[in-house]
Amino acid sequence: MDDSIDSQLDATRQENVSRILDAAERLFRHFGYSKTNVADIARDLGMSPANIYRFFASKAEIHQAICGRMLAASYQQAQDICRQSLSATERLRQYIRAQHQMTVEVMLDDQKVHEMVVIAMERDWHVIDKHIDRLHALVADVIREGILAGEFPEQDADAASRCFGAATVILCHPQMVAQCLSKENRATPDELIEFAIKALKN
């Protein structure tokens, strides 16, 4: 009986958390992160700010949770690509292309979202580092499979993954993408991807 009550309470709490995050993200996207406060989020939900603070200690904590959801979507996309029945080379190629496309479409086309991401990076939140570590682990697994298949020579897959990430970060880092998108004297995404893959094969 107690377990049933606890489950109901957990479900109710999660529902409230999701409602708050959905409302906050909607307002952040519309007005911008810096122009939205907790009172605005509470008003949108028809509740008091005190009720928001039952679930989140601050606006920054709400922001962090929203960024966590965005990064989770990015990781899921990466995981789906890396688990396809394709060569390791093709999976890495598709993975970086998809990450670049998501950065351009989700984080740059919507400037209010870009603001949220930049603020998160400036604060160096642990969710960003955790996301990067998970992507490195995912790519390392693909590289190991490529080594076993003879696509890549024997090498430290974890180190290779970190280097591959560093070589292609300009395609996935929102601020770098924003700075380079309109520059004609930069390597194209495909040129950079092929260069990084060639490095894995040498």
Answer with the residue of higher pLDDT: 163 or 128: 163
pLDDT averaged over every residue in the chain: 87
Task: Please give the average per-residue pLDDT across 144-161, as a whole number.
Answer: 98
- Per-residue pLDDT band for 33 (boundaries 50, 70, 90) equals confident
Q: Which amino acid is at 70?
A: M
- Per-residue pLDDT band for 63 (boundaries 50, 70, 90) equals confident
Q: Which amino acid is at 184?
A: E
Query: What does pTM read for this prediction?
Result: 0.79
* Cα distances (angstroms) measured from residue 11 to each of 7, 15, 66: 6, 6, 19
pLDDT for 198: 96
Q: Are 28 and 66 in contact (CB under 8 A)?
A: yes
pLDDT for 89: 97
Write down the CATH number for the domain with range 67-201.
1.10.357.10
The closest alpha carbon to 143, from 126, 157, 156, 129, belongs to 157
Determine what percent of the chain is predicted with pLDDT higher than 70.
Answer: 86
Every domain range in the chain assigned CATH 1.10.357.10 = 67-201
pLDDT of 109 higher than 60: no
Q: Are 139 and 165 in contact (CB under 8 A)?
A: yes
pLDDT of 200 higher than 50: yes
Q: Which residue's entry shows tokens 């890396």? A: 82
Spatial neighbors of 158 by CB under 8 A, at least 6 apart, are 136, 140
Every domain range in the chain assigned CATH 1.10.10.60 = 1-56
pLDDT of 1 higher than 50: no
What are the phi and psi torsion angles at 48 (to 5°)? Answer: -85, 155
1-56 topology per CATH: Arc Repressor Mutant, subunit A (1.10.10)
Long-range contacts of 123-128 (CB under 8 A, 24+ apart): 123/60, 125/64, 125/67, 127/64, 127/67, 127/68, 127/71, 128/67, 128/71
Determine what percent of the chain is predicted with pLDDT higher than 90.
Answer: 54
Most confident listed range (70-74, 132-136, 172-176): 132-136
